[in-house]
Amino acid sequence: MGIGLSSRIKTHATDLGFQKVGIAPAGPHPKLNSDLNDWISSGHHATMQWIESRKDERGNIHKYFPRAKAVISVAMVYHSGHEQKDLSSNYKVSNYAWGDDYHDVLKSKLFQLLGWLKTIEPNVKGIVCVDTSPVMEKAWAQKAGLGWQGKHTNLISRDYGSWFFLGELIVDIELESDKPFTEDLCGTCTACIDACPTQALEDYKIDAGKCISYLTIEHRGELPEDQQDLDGWIYGCDICQEVCPWNEKFGKTSEEFAFQPRSEILNYTDDDWNALDEKSYRKLFKGSAVKRAKFSGLKRNIISNKHKDTKLSDENN
Ligand code: B12
Ligand code: SF4
Ligand code: SF4
């Protein structure tokens, strides 16, 4: 088993710009599978059929990559160091989407890691995953020792908080593994559950249909009648992470230039957002994660928040 190789992989991944790296054996993960099935049968995935349609692969890594022997799990900090109050607009955009699309940034580094690994193990087969693959990234990161899933359901590390993305390089060679992270350092805290404006969280579980992140990014068409209040967010939502004491104490600013905010994100006023047309949208969000919401979704979110403001000022007059 590659003991020396595991530590060389970690050093190389760190040199590429990942803050955390851990390795888990690609063995069975029965709790993950049963929790996922419960979550889906409770309808907590809302309209995200793409989760259900590949649930067997999500619940069993060998259905996705039969030759898998080890999962190299990586984390990369994205927080730009700016806060919502630094924006010129009252509309809020999740911090993870202020710069370039993280899928591209992490994938390119993971492919570099695979390319380097092939120079040592020429026959290795590897799959690079970032977000969109049918892999339960948080559960694998916990198994690889990176941290624990907090009550807001994101993965938290004791040295970086939770403002990071996850990715994996799954390989068909055995590697020395790390110990899984077995502690739950949330303790009696319930700050995320209490602060969530839509009551989407219950201990360690999310009802995605109620979550503003889902509503602003994933939901297509009109917003449901009872989920119209987006609390000022036009893309994503950061509230449950903003209130987390682990981020207050240990959250770090990203050193990755690609995650620095685009100037329009910082400087756009409410009027600029209200006037956004498809042409400016395409230009502003070229190579950005915000494309996921599509122009129609972003426009719907802006209009929905604008109507709320109009209603509030009518009530105050
Ligand atoms: C679907 C999805 C969403 C959905 C659903 C969120 C969710 N929690 O599942 C929506 C659109 C709402 C969403 C929102 C966000 N997302 Co998202 N999302 C995903 C995606 C694609 C799949 C997640 C998944 O498998 N969900 C299914 C459910 C069943 O999984 P789970 O939440 O982990 O559920 C576990 C717990 O409930 C637990 N459990 C169940 N019962 C119990 C009981 C106890 C006692 C315990 C301890 C645990 C427990 O078991 C379940 C299975 O392990 C992943 C990428 C990936 N491929 O993994 C990114 C991912 C999770 N998202 C990410 C991010 C950044 C976000 C946002 C912060 C973006 C934003 N700012 O708007 C928000 C956070 C909202 C939140 N509080 O979770 C990052 C998280 C990084 C991190 N540090 O953890 C990921 C990993 C993407 C990435 N590659 O970086 N997301
Ligand atoms: S992202 Fe926002 S809406 Fe979703 S669970 Fe967290 S606080 Fe609630
Ligand atoms: S806010 Fe508190 S309960 Fe929620 S994830 Fe952070 S430490 Fe855990």
Instruction: Tell me the mean pLDDT in the region 193-213.
Output: 97
Q: Who has greater pLDDT, 316 or 235?
A: 235
The amino acid at residue 153 is T
Tell whether pTM > 0.75.
yes
Average pLDDT, whole number, for the chain? 95
Residues 190 and 243: beta-carbon distance below 8 Å: no
**Which member of 104, 131, 229, 272 is catalytic?**
131
Q: What is the pLDDT of residue 31?
A: 86
Q: Is the shortest distance between the CB of 219 and ligand 3 below 6 Å?
A: no
The answer to whether the beta carbons of residues 262 and 170 sit under 8 Å apart is: no
Q: What's the DSSP call for residue 223?
A: P
In this model, does residue 122 exceed pLDDT 80?
yes
131 is catalytic: yes
Single out the residue of 178, 209, 204 nearest to residue 189, CA to CA.
204
> Residue 310's pLDDT is what?
56
Q: Atom 2 (ligand 3): residue with closest C-alpha? A: 189
| pLDDT at site 309 | 60
Average pLDDT estimate for 231-244: 98
Counting runs of H as helices and runs of E as strands, what totals does the chain give? 15, 10
Q: What is the DSSP letter of 164?
A: E
Residue of minimum CA distance from atom 45 in ligand 1: 204
Name the region of 54 (left: φ>0; alpha: ψ -120 to 50; beta: rest). Answer: alpha
Q: Provide the pairing of β-strand 126-129 with 148-149.
A: unpaired
Q: Where are the domains of the chain?
A: 1-310
Smallest CA-to-CA distance from 68 within 168, 165, 156, 142 is with 168
Average pLDDT on 74-85 reads 96
Task: Give the closest residue (by CA) to ligand 3 atom 7.
Answer: 186
| Residue to probe by mutation, ligand 2, list 84, 149, 193, 198, most atoms within 8 Å of CB | 198
Query: Percentage of the chain with pLDDT > 90?
Result: 93
The pair of structure tokens assigned to 18 is 């990942």
What are 10-29's pLDDT values in tens digits? 999 999 999 999 999 998 88
Confidence label for 315 from pLDDT (cuts 50, 70 and 90): low
Query: For residues 146 and 287, what is the distance between their CA atoms, to the nearest angstrom?
Result: 28
pLDDT in tens, 142-197: 999 999 999 999 999 999 999 999 999 999 999 999 999 999 999 999 999 999 99
Centroid of ligand 3 to alpha carbon of 2 (angstroms): 36
At 307, is the pLDDT very low, low, confident or very high (cuts 50, 70, 90)? confident
